[in-house]
Structure 1
Amino acid sequence: MHFCKVMQLTQYLQIRPWYWWSKQRTLGKAPVTVGITAFSIMIMAGICRPDAEDSFTKIKGSAGSPRFNLQFTNNDGSDVDLYVQTPNGSVINYQNISAQNGKMDVDCLCGDCPEGGNENVYWVPGTAPKGTFKVWARYFDPCVGENGSARYKLRIMDGNKVVREMEGSLSSYDRRSPVIIYER
Structure 2
Amino acid sequence: MKPFTLPTPFPTPIPVSAQWLLAIAAAASVLGVAMPAGLAQERQGCFMITQTGRLIDLSDICPSAQPFTPPAQASSTPTLGTGDIQVTLRWTTTDDLDLAVRDPSGNIVAYYNRSVPSGGQLDVDANAGCGEQNTSPIENIFWPSGRAPQGQFSIEVNLFTRCPGGGGGSIPFNLTLLVQGTTRTIEGSVSDQQPVATFPFSLPTQAAQR
Normalised by the length of structure 2, the TM-score is 0.52
Q: Secondary structure at the match of 2:198?
A: coil
Out of 59, 62, 65, the position equivalent to 2:84 is 65
Percent sequence identity over aligned pairs: 30
Displacement after TM superposition at 1:173 (Å): 2.0
Q: How many residues align?
A: 124
Determine which structure has the larger helix proportion and give its number: 2
Aligned with residue 96 of structure 1, among 106, 113, 116: 113
In the TM superposition, what is the alpha-carbon distance from 1:180 to its structure 2 partner? Answer: 2.5
SS, match of residue 94 in structure 1: coil
Structure 2 CA distance for aligned equivalents of residues 113 and 131 of structure 1: 37
For residue 179 of structure 1, report the CA deviation from its aligned partner.
2.3
TM-superposed CA distance for 1:59, in Å, is 8.0
Report which structure shows greater RCO (CA 8 Å, sep ≥6): 1
Contact 2:149/2:203 (8 A) holds in 1: no
Show the counterpart of 2:194: 174
Task: Name the CA distance, whole Å, in 2 between partners of 1:117 and 1:171.
Answer: 17
Task: Please identify the structure whose Cα radius of gyration is greater.
Answer: 2
Pick the aligned partner of 2:99 from 75, 82, 99.
Answer: 82
TM superposition shift of 1:182: 2.3
Paired residues of 1:60 and 1:120 also in contact (CA < 8 A): no
Work out the CA distance in 1 between the residues paired with 2:180 and 2:79.
Answer: 13
Give the stretch that moved more between structures: 172-181 or 142-151. Answer: 142-151
Per the TM alignment, residue 169 of structure 1 is displaced from its structure 2 partner at its CA by: 1.8
* Equivalent position amino acid for 1:96 in 2: N
1:155 to 176, 180, 191: 176
Give the aligned residue type for 1:156: L
1:118 equivalenced with 2:138 (yes/no): yes
* Alpha-carbon distance in structure 2 between the residues aligned to 1:137 and 1:128: 20
Gap runs ≥5 in structure 1:
1-57
Q: Structure 1 residues 171 and 65 mapped into 2: Cα distance closer, same or farther (>3 Å)?
A: same
Superposition CA RMSD, Å:
2.5
Q: Give how far 1:63 is off.
A: 1.9
- Which residue in the other structure is 1:165 paired with? 185
- Superposition TM-score, scaled by structure 1 size: 0.59
